[in-house]
C-alpha cells in the first residue's frame, strides 16, 4: 500500500474512533484532535479550561507531536503540571496542505505509539 494511502486510512481511523468516543459521532476536525492530545498530555482530564488555556493545550500537543521529528524536546513540567518544550530546530516553511499532512502523520504516529490504533 502506498504511504499516502496508508496515512489516509489511518487518519480516517483516528478521526472516526475519536469522534465516536468524544463527539457522539460528529466528525472532529484537526484542531479538535490536537486539543484532545493536549488535554491527554496535560493529564488533567476532569476540568474546564479557559480560552487561553485551550490555546496552550494545543501548543503542548503540537510540541509533543513534533518531538519525534526533532523540532522540540520536553524542557520541564511546571508546578501546576503543565509541560514546557524548547525548540530544537526551526520549523520548515510549509504550505497549508503540507502542514496539514505533517500534523496528520504526527497524530497518526502518536496514536500508534500510544496503542490507540494499530
| φ, ψ for residue 22, nearest 5 deg | -120, -10
- Mean pLDDT value across residues 64-86: 96
b/e string for 16-43 if b means 16 or more Cβ within 10 A? eebbeeeeeeeebeeebbbbbbbbbbbe
- Mean pLDDT value across residues 33-59: 94
Asked if residue 41 has pLDDT above 80, the reply is yes
**pTM confidence score:** 0.92
Cα separation, 114 vs 84, whole angstroms: 20
Contact 11, 110 (CB under 8 A): no
DSSP-derived 3-state class of residue 47: coil
Percent of the chain with pLDDT over 70: 99
Convert the pLDDT of each residue in 51-66 to its tens digit.
999 999 999 999 999 9
Cα separation, 85 vs 97, whole angstroms: 25
Residue 1: predicted pLDDT: 63
Q: How confident is the model at residue 23 (pLDDT cuts 50, 70, 90)?
A: very high
Amino acid at each position: 500500500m502506498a504511504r499516502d494511502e496508508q496515512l489516509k486510512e489511518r487518519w480516517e481511523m483516528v478521526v472516526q474512533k475519536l469522534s465516536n468516543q468524544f463527539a457522539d459521532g460528529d466528525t472532529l476536525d484537526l484542531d479538535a484532535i490536537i486539543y484532545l492530545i493536549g488535554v491527554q498530555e496535560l493529564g488533567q482530564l476532569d476540568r474546564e479550561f479557559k480560552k487561553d488555556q485551550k490555546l496552550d493545550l494545543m501548543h503542548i500537543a503540537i510540541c509533543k507531536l513534533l518531538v519525534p521529528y526533532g523540532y522540540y524536546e520536553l524542557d520541564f513540567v511546571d508546578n501546576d503540571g503543565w509541560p514546557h518544550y524548547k525548540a530544537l530546530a526551526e520549523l520548515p516553511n510549509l504550505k497549508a496542505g503540507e502542514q496539514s499532512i505533517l500534523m496528520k502523520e504526527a497524530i497518526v504516529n502518536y496514536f500508534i505509539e500510544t496503542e490507540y490504533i494499530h
